[in-house]
Amino acid sequence: MKEIIIATKNKGKAKDFEALLEPMGYKVLTLHDVAPHIDVEETGETFEANAILKAEAIAQELQATVIADDSGLEIEALDGEPGVYSARYSGDEKNDESNIDKVLQKMVQVPDDEKTARFRCVLALASPGQETIIFEGTCEGLITDERKGDKGFGYDPIFYVPEFEKTMAEMEPEEKASVSHRGNAIRELGKTMPGLSGN
């Protein structure tokens, strides 16, 4: 089986990539497999900048082609927060539960018809000695009043997708892959990268 390196330490993200890439014949390797000692600081101010930082650092270190994902949740009523700070929204120590609590707290004041949000995913494809290429995907949804579902990761339990009448945490991995920001970004990548084409 062909192997593909995803420069992430997030196991939930890695599962999303497996649901997307295994049907295309790829085995997903993450930093836990190939470079557990490396930590790339996300000092960029945009998803794109951080995706490039992660992809190029790991590609350089491993002398291999890698894909990095920088992603997050943008809530309209909160002027795009938590955005690029999604992973650290409630503090420097990454914690999905307290991040969700902070969002829910801020959304209490917001009327139901203004709870629109989107997930955004920027992928950077880096190879040593080659220009890094960027792909992007989004997914539109609504922030719920409370958590629903126990699948997925991050903000999935409070992100409702009208098309499926479910939160992302209530979706099977294949369902999430078919509509998610990450799925849409991979499908963009597939259009330009021969061999990485899917549906």
Interaction site with ligand Y43 (CB under 6 A): 8-10, 13, 16, 42, 69-73, 86-87, 99, 119, 152-156, 168, 180, 182
Residue 199 counted as an annotated binding residue:
no
- Residue 71 labeled ligand binder: yes
Closer to Mg ion by CB, 100 or 161: give it.
100
Q: 170 with 151: CB under 8 angstroms?
A: yes
| Of the candidates 153, 159, 132, the residue with the CA atom closest to the CA atom of residue 48 | 132
Which option in ligand Y43, Mg ion, none does residue 56 bind, with CB closer than 5 to 8 A by kind? none
Q: What is the dihedral of CA 156, 183, 55, 60, to 10 degrees?
A: 130
> What separation in angstroms does the CA of 3 have from each of 20, 24, 30, 170, 195?
13, 11, 10, 29, 12
Name 139's bridge partners.
Answer: 119
Rounded to a whole number of angstroms, the CA Rg of the chain reads: 16
156 and 167 Cβ atoms separated by less than 8 Å: yes
Contact status, residue 141 vs residue 161, Cβ threshold 8 Å: yes
Which stretch, 83-91, 118-126, 130-138, 187-195, contacts Mg ion (CB under 5 A)? 83-91
Three-state DSSP state, 185: helix
41 is in an annotated binding site: yes
- Least distance between ligand Y43 and beta carbon 1 (Å): 23
Tell me whether residue 145 is one of the annotated catalytic residues: no
Is the distance from CB of 119 to CB of 180 less than 8 angstroms?
yes
How many other C-beta atoms can be found within 10 angstroms of the C-beta atom of residue 132? 15
Q: Could you tell me the smallest distance in angstroms from the CB atom of residue 64 to ligand Y43?
A: 17
Nearest approach in angstroms of CB 71 to ligand Y43 is 4
User: Which of 70, 101, 113, 145 is the catalytic position?
Assistant: 70
| Per-residue mark of binding to Mg ion, 9-38 (x: CB under 5 A) | ------------------------------
Length of the chain: 199
12 is in an annotated binding site: yes
Q: Is residue 178 a known part of a binding site?
A: no
Q: How far is the CB of 165 from ligand Y43 (least distance, A)?
A: 18
Footprint of Mg ion on this chain (CB under 5 A)?
Answer: 87
Binding residues for Mg(2+): 41, 70
Binding residues for substrate: 8-13, 71, 153-156, 176, 181-182
* Catalytic residue list: 70
Binding residues: 8-13, 41, 70-71, 153-156, 176, 181-182
